[in-house]
Amino acid sequence: MPSRTRHVPCFLNYEAAHLRLRAHALTHHFAAWPRRETIMRRSVIREGMVVGLAGAVAVAAWFLVYDLAAGVPFRTPALLGATIFDGLRDPSALVITPALVLKYTVLHGLAFLAFGIAAAGLFALVDYERRVLFAVFMLFCCFEVFLVGMVMALAEQLIEEIPIWAILGANLVAAIVMLGILFRSHHRMPSEVLTAGE
């Protein structure tokens, strides 16, 4: 008696092959995911450090020019450093020392590094969702308000020594530099912020 072979319809073979192919692709995708995530995280941190340092340098350069115009180089970082680290309350008692300038510069740099990494992280999301641009805009606005509020809270008498327009100007220059780097590296236009919510 002839043996009967089971005949599988052609479409079932095709479906089985398709499922095997999809399973292989998904396995490969998820196996590579931790490596891709690590690379992306490193890229965001690197970009954030560049952006943060650029903003810190922009503010430092602004106040260096401001202090040189007043005839007292490094007065602003020394004044802020003495207020934060030594509790200076009388600006006329300020003694500008390299240690004060250096301590404040390190603190200033670390704050801008943290902010730069946060901004770069948000901009990485912009590549997937354009509406995040509005959150970036709000982050920069909040940063401006925070810095002015921090200086006012630290010492009201410093407002006479470092006028609000100088603080706002320095931070505006930093924001332009930082956003310029981010917009350029992510191939975005600043005008997209206006339509990001749509």
Question: Could you state, in order of their start, the residue ranges of all structural domains in the chain?
Answer: 40-195
Share of the chain above pLDDT 70, in %: 69
Least confident segment among 30-39, 90-99, 140-149: 30-39
Whether 119 and 178 have beta carbons less than 8 Å apart is answered as: yes
Handedness of CA 102, 106, 111, 112 (dihedral sign): positive
Residue with tokens 């940063």: 143
Query: 190 vs 143, which has greater pLDDT?
Result: 143
Residue range 131-157: average pLDDT?
74
| Band of pLDDT at residue 55, cut at 50, 70 and 90 | very high
Residue 8 CB neighbours (<10 A): 9
Q: Which of 146-155, 168-177, 178-187 has the highest mean pLDDT?
A: 168-177
What percentage of the chain's residues is helix, strand, coil (to nearest 5)? 80, 0, 20
Residue range 8-15: average pLDDT?
54
pTM of the model: 0.71
What does DSSP assign to residue 4?
A: P
pLDDT at residue 30 is higher than 90: no
